[in-house]
Chains A and B, each alone.
Chain A
């Protein structure tokens, strides 16, 4: 059957009665023996929640019967809180006497053709009913469910009476397809018990669901109202009870209504009623339908392990014993699986369950493990523990990338953290300051194959974002390989054997007494690789037939996100080779650092006397220039720049002077600071920049807030210690000392202002871009590339005729397309 239309409307009282399995009349839930009372809120006809019992309505057991609605006859009609806005709008549009629409015949066409909203119709409505000439009284809506007409309060009965008289033709004009009187409740549907199951505590006590509690209140008040009416109680008592019933039913729908005290549990806890179940991130929609909890997954803290492969993940044994893979028994694996079963669930590698060919699941325990192991024949499924080299998915949130979820190989390890190779932190954007990551175990062959072929770490070395390698050497890896390849340092046979063998035991060592660092590095290069490129510091690097001839290896060649050498290796020798290459380079770098030693010190940034003199000169020069400019400005002689106010011109000039001064300082430092470890890190691109060195050794420079020199704080000055109107360098956030020499209290404050601004900016920016991303994903999530190469949406409408206008996968091509000529040359040569 094809569904061609779905219409949403409001259930009528009759419909409620028709779908109901029971009429609720009694306030008690259970009789003195503890059985549910028929006609009570736990009526057995409303479904089953206890195992072993069959449903009185449909005969199903716990899993089969979804439950059945019941109904409660309300003594007096009640306004549904969530409909009160619509009810108010309808009251305004229709006449209070004849219930006809308050729009004149001549305006009717406009209403009909333009499909006007309620608001527009109200503005078209007349002061007097065009049909019966009754004066329209002023209506007021007091949230959440009271309507006042003139001086009188309208009760639900009156509203319902008016709505019953409304003609279908008039409703059509308004665009309403259901009867408006159904907006006011006369019957209350009682949800099945499966929606509000009661829990039996260990003490044997029953604990009811919040909804049941609320419903009990409703039934009780409803009963009292009825008794009082039957007894002919005075009007004000009936009015009060009616109001109370309205309160209970309103909070039953929504317990967070503004202006209404929330209904509470006896303990004082606020009840979770219908709206609260659906709303918010943890509600039914966002928490249970749009996102679900998953099985066969694990989460724990991550820590580094430079000794494992880049596509490995270290899994704690405790986790490996909890996560299982269903393995189908056949002749070839039978013996092995029998052994795992014999190990049981406590010894790794064991198994937790077996599934017999008839589909029955059996837990493996200490008592029955021998028995189960003996009965295993082909056709059984053993849910065995996670083993080494099993394939799993590994993920770190926020998943902003496709590289945030990659396939890894399991390495079962002691202790309690996931272990991760350091090169793999870049795509996940992970560090080890307490980050946690998730692991998912695929349960079918298809899933495993898909992971292996699409998402394994080596296949994701090249990022689709910039068509280059995203996985590569970082930090110490870069420093290490830089130290090794810099200059012509010789390593004795003993030294280089030690280095190379600690990385790879198969590499052929040349028969030489000593090797240079460049030669050692070259051992790991493909023998037919030749290329030329610029290093991080701009020098030429030459590789000829697998030999590093000239230049150093640094961030520009093997670094993650930048490595030109990595890029070429991945492209020409494939991702598996690239994986080994990255591993070898990083291991070699670490071996170099551990044997040769590498330590930084504050004294790395000590300045020579000449440097000190030069910097002092520069600062004095800056001071003088700025003072002159300030003087000119105060006299009004400063040249005003086009499109700027005099003040802006001053700021611009001063900023230029300061910037040039800082550049000069940097040049002095570049010349004067000797070769040292700190500089090695900067030059190789491993960490830090020249700016950092300038700020520590020489001067911090101008502190900026929102791109301007600091001016605000006190009246016309930054601190009370300055004269109002001061524009001198010291008073506007210029720090003329370096961190190492120490800065003055004023300077310290300026620096703190700047630091706080960058901190705030960073956190605000991540929040903002996170939300942008969420909206973008929402808009694009069901776009899909079809087999005919078009991009289509969920309704199969074409969005793009070629993905990205070129139909190319950016993670598979060279930036700027494919160089066909080069490929052809290569093919013909070989």
Chain B
């Protein structure tokens, strides 16, 4: 069967894994610990394809009919 790159699908919003400095900047911006972020499971198809590990923060840029682009951050958890 043909491998499909799901990140290319127009319905899949853009996911990127933050590097350490970006992650720290985010934590400082909201003055939070990792556990206070919304979660995403490690077995989430997009996270799998990005190779996300537990504790990584994924930045998700979604297209929204209301505001154009909305940005979300999620921490990768076991699952």
List residues of chain A with CB under 8 Å of any chain B CB: 788, 790, 792, 795-799, 801-802, 804-806
A801 touches B72 (CB 8 A): yes
Q: A799-B38, A801-B72, A801-B73 are in contact. Are A790 and B67 (CB under 8 A)?
A: no
Residues of the B chain whose Cβ atoms lie less than 8 Å from the Cβ of A801: 70-73
A796 near B32 with CB under 8 A, answer yes
Residue contact A798 to B30, C-beta cutoff 8 Å: yes
**Are A805 and B37 within 8 A (Cβ)?**
no
* Other contacts beyond A796-B32, A798-B38, A805-B70: 8, CB < 8 A: A792-B36, A795-B36, A796-B36, A798-B36, A799-B38, A801-B70, A801-B72, A806-B67
User: Given that A788-B30, A790-B30 are known contacts, is A798 also in contact with B66, CB under 8 Å in the complex?
Assistant: no
The 10 closest A-B pairs by CB, nearest first: A806-B67, A805-B70, A797-B36, A805-B67, A806-B66, A805-B64, A796-B36, A798-B36, A805-B66, A798-B37
Chain A contacts of B35 at CB under 8 A? Answer: 797
Shortest Cβ distance from residue B74 to the other chain A in the assembled complex, whole angstroms = 10
Which residues of chain A come closer than 8 Å to B73, judged between CB atoms?
Answer: 801
Q: How far is the CB of A798 from chain B (nearest CB, A)?
A: 6
Q: Name which of B36, B64, B71, B73 has the most chain A CB atoms within 10 A of its CB.
A: B36
Give A805 to B35 CA distance when docked, in angstroms. Answer: 21
| Residues of chain B within 8 A of A788, CB atoms compared | 30-31
A792 to B36, CA, bound (A): 9
Which chain A residue has the least Cβ–Cβ distance from B74? A798
- Chain B residues whose C-beta falls within 8 Å of the C-beta of A799 in the assembled complex: 38
Q: How far apart are A430's CB and chain B's nearest CB, in angstroms? A: 33
Question: Which of chain B's residues has its CB closest to A804's CB?
Answer: B66
Instruction: Show 24 residue pairs from A and B whose CB-CB distance is below 8 angstroms, ordered by the A residue.
Output: A790-B30, A792-B36, A795-B36, A796-B32, A797-B35, A797-B36, A797-B37, A797-B38, A798-B30, A798-B32, A798-B36, A798-B37, A799-B38, A801-B70, A801-B72, A801-B73, A802-B70, A804-B66, A805-B64, A805-B67, A805-B70, A806-B66, A806-B67, A806-B70
A253 and B67 CA atoms in complex are apart in Å by 57
Q: Which residues of B contact A798 (CB under 8 A)?
A: 30, 32, 36-38
Cβ of A797: which chain B residues have Cβ within 8 Å of it? 35-38
Chain A nearest CB from B16 CB (Å) reads 16
The residue of chain B having its C-beta at the shortest distance from the C-beta of A790 within the complex is: B30
Main secondary structure of the interface of B (DSSP, over half): mixed
Q: Which of B24-79 contact A (CB under 8 A)?
A: 30-32, 35-38, 64, 66-67, 70-73
How many chain B residues touch A (CB < 8 A): the figure is 14
Name the CB-closest residue of B to A796: B36
Residues of A within 8 A of B30 (CB): 788, 790, 798
Kindly state the separation between the CA atoms of A799 and B30 in the bound complex, as whole angstroms: 12
Q: Give chain A residues whose Cβ lies under 8 Å from the Cβ of B71.
A: 801
Q: Which residue of A lies closest to B31 (CB)?
A: A788
Task: Specify which chain A residues have a CB less than 8 angstroms from the CB of B66 in the assembled complex.
Answer: 804-806
Q: Please measure, in the bound complex, the distance between the C-alpha atom of A802 and the C-alpha atom of B73, giving whole angstroms.
A: 12
- Complex: A796 Cα to B36 Cα, angstroms: 7
- Chain A residues within 8 Å of B70, by CB: 801-802, 805-806
Set of chain A residues within 8 Å of B31, measured between Cβ atoms: 788
Contacts of A790 in B (CB 8 A): 30
Whole-angstrom distance between the alpha carbons of A790 and B31 in the complex? 11
In the complex, which residue of chain A has the Cβ closest to the Cβ of B39?
A: A797
Note all chain A residues with C-beta closer than 8 A to B72: 801
Task: Report Cα–Cα, A801/B26, bound state, in Å.
Answer: 11
Contact residues in A for B38 (Cβ distance below 8 Å): 797-799
Give Cα A798 to B38, complex, Å. 6
Distance A791 CA – B23 CA, assembled complex (angstroms): 20
Residues of B within 8 A of A796 (CB): 32, 36
Nearest residue (CB) in A for B68 is A806
Closest to B69 in A: A805
Give A806 to B62 CA distance when docked, in angstroms.
Answer: 13
Residues of B within 8 A of A804 (CB): 66
From residue B22, how far is it (CB to closest CB) to chain A in Å?
A: 15
**Which residue of chain A has the shortest Cβ distance to B72 in the bound complex?**
A801
Bound form: Cα–Cα A420–B30 in Å: 46
Docked pose: A484 CA to B79 CA in angstroms? 69
Q: How far is the CB of A743 from chain B (nearest CB, A)?
A: 48
Q: Would you give the shortest CB distance from A140 to chain B, in whole angstroms?
A: 42
* Distance, CA A790 to CA B29, complexed state (A): 11
By beta carbon, the residue of chain A nearest B33 is: A796
CB of B50, distance to nearest CB on chain A (Å): 20
**Once the chains are docked, how many angstroms separate the CA of A798 from the CA of B31?**
11
Distance in Å: Cβ of B35 to nearest Cβ of chain A: 7
A612 smallest CB distance to B (angstroms): 51
Residues from chain A with Cβ under 8 Å of B36 in the complex: 792, 795-798
CA separation between A236 and B32, bound complex, in Å?
69
B32 to chain A: which residues have CB within 8 Å? Answer: 796, 798
Alpha-carbon distance between A799 and B35 when the two chains are bound, in angstroms = 12
Closest residue on chain A to residue B64 by CB atoms: A805
Q: What is the distance, in angstroms, from B13's C-beta to the closest C-beta of chain A?
A: 13
1/0 per residue, CB under 8 A from A, across B1-37: the answer is 0000000000000000000000000000011100111
Give Cα distance in the complex from A686 to B72, angstroms: 46
Q: Using Cβ atoms and an 8 Å threshold, which residues of chain B touch A806?
A: 66-67, 70
Most B Cβ at <10 Å: residue of A790, A801, A802: A801
Closest to A807 in B: B67
Chain B positions within 8 Å of A792 at CB level: 36
CA separation between A796 and B67, bound complex, in Å? 25
| Closest beta carbon of chain B to A302's beta carbon, Å | 38
A790–B32 CA distance with the chains assembled, in angstroms: 11
Min Cβ gap B15→A in Å is 15
The smallest C-beta distance from A87 to any residue of chain B, in angstroms, reads 37
In the assembled complex, the CB of B66 is this many whole angstroms from the nearest CB of chain A, namely: 6
Closest to B32 in A: A798
Residues of B close to A802: CB separation below 8 A: 70
Min CB distance B26 to A, Å, is: 10
Least distance between A817 CB and chain B CB atoms (Å): 8
In the bound complex, how far is the Cα of B36 from the Cα of A788, in angstroms? 14
Complex CA gap A795/B32 in Å reads: 11
Q: Give chain A nearest CB distance to B17 CB in angstroms.
A: 17
Measured in the bound complex, the distance between the Cα atoms of B64 and A568 in whole Å is 28
B37: A residues at CB distance < 8 A: 797-798
Residues of B within 8 A of A805 (CB): 64, 66-67, 70
- Give bound CA distance, A801 to B57, whole Å: 14
Nearest-Cβ distance from residue B6 to partner chain A, whole angstroms: 23
Which residues on the B side are within 8 Å of A795 (C-beta)? 36
Cα distance, A805 to B70, chains bound together (Å): 6
A386 to B36, CA, bound (A): 47
